[in-house]
Amino acid sequence: MKKTIHLLLCLLLATPVAAQRMQNTKSAQTTFLHPWAGKRVAYFGDSITDPRNSGSKKKYWNFLQELLNITPYVYGKSGRQWNDIPRQAEQLKQEHGTDFDAIVIFMGTNDYNNAVPIGEWFEETEDSVVAARDTRWVKRKYLRKKRTPAMDADTYRGRINIALSRLKTMYPTKQIVLLTPIHRALFYGNEHNIQPSEEYQNAVGIYFDRYVESVKEAGNIWAVPVIDLRSAMKGQPYSTTLQKTVFTPMMPVTAEWHRHSTIGWPPCRVVFSLGGQRTTVALTMRISSRGRSCSSVSAHCICLTTSNPSVTSPNTVYCPSR
């Protein structure tokens, strides 16, 4: 396939930084402009985001910059953990105030490596609350369990709570998107920095999966979108073949990995309604940040720089590459 749509482009369509612009033309054509095109996006994270990291000259945010003309404000720093997000947020505020559109957070792998306990999302207490429901219970105060977010800086979930609470307070109207940590291969920096792959528990006996799942859970708790890069990326450490093709001998932070982090694997699919039928469209073209015209049928293909979609089954329209 000559060109493939980038996974982050596809998934960012679900994050309403701006309304999607669909404009009808005189020739019954439609133009689509990606809602993140031309936006200003802050990136928080660790070494994979850090522009100073020499593992790759081009990072995932560079590819998004090229594809969507995004202006990146990058604050990721090598080795940092979730407890560094408030500092990165303060730096963003000092440099740009509220003059930006969204925040992307790519963090968690160093918390696992540094054996930060998972902890709990909530602390429970007993409190009285007024309640009433028809004849089942009369209006009065009842003693019930109450939960509040755990703000424990020594646990992983506590750190996420602290970070997202701070961001929601600082930037209540800004879009926040979480990226899950990706698969971990062996990292050998030197004799004093050897990090086993995710096949092994960390020093407190926790597998990497729980750190990844906690980021997904945070999306529900704090009402922010989560992009699961770990499940979408091409490589993982249990496959010797994929280790050789995607992973470096140390960690997957090469330009090839960053390119794959934004490419759908497999190509993203979107379900829409066409003529009253639910129709699946295989997105296999890069979305233009400038927008392109499509025929009335391919308008439902999210306007993939093609004007000749083909019907491959009664309920499927395929938007091919050129």
Give dist(CA 180, CA 105) in Å, integer: 9
Instruction: Check residue 231 and give its pLDDT.
Output: 82
Instruction: Check residue 121 and give its pLDDT.
Output: 98
Phi and psi angles of residue 166, each rounded to the nearest 5 degrees, phi first = -65, -45
Instruction: Check residue 135 and give its pLDDT.
Output: 86
Instruction: Check residue 274 and give its pLDDT.
Output: 34
Instruction: Check residue 265 and give its pLDDT.
Output: 26
Question: What are 124's strand-pairing partners?
Answer: 147
Helices and strands counted in the chain (H then E): 9, 16
Residue 270: count other Cβ atoms within 10 Å of its Cβ: 16
54-60, long-range: CB within 8 Å, 24+ apart, which pairs? 55/248, 55/251, 55/253, 55/254, 56/253, 56/254, 56/255, 56/257, 56/258, 57/255, 58/255, 58/258, 58/259, 59/258, 60/8, 60/106, 60/258, 60/261, 60/262
Q: Tell me if the pTM is above 0.95.
A: no
CB 94 within 8 A of CB 42: no
Give dist(CA 75, CA 70) in Å, integer: 15
Instruction: Check residue 86 and give its pLDDT.
Output: 98
Instruction: Check residue 44 and give its pLDDT.
Output: 98
CB 86 within 8 A of CB 163: yes
Give dist(CA 148, CA 124) in Å, integer: 7
Find the radius of gyration of the CA atoms of the chain: 22
**pLDDT < 50 positions in the chain:** 1-6, 14, 17-31, 242-257, 260, 262-322
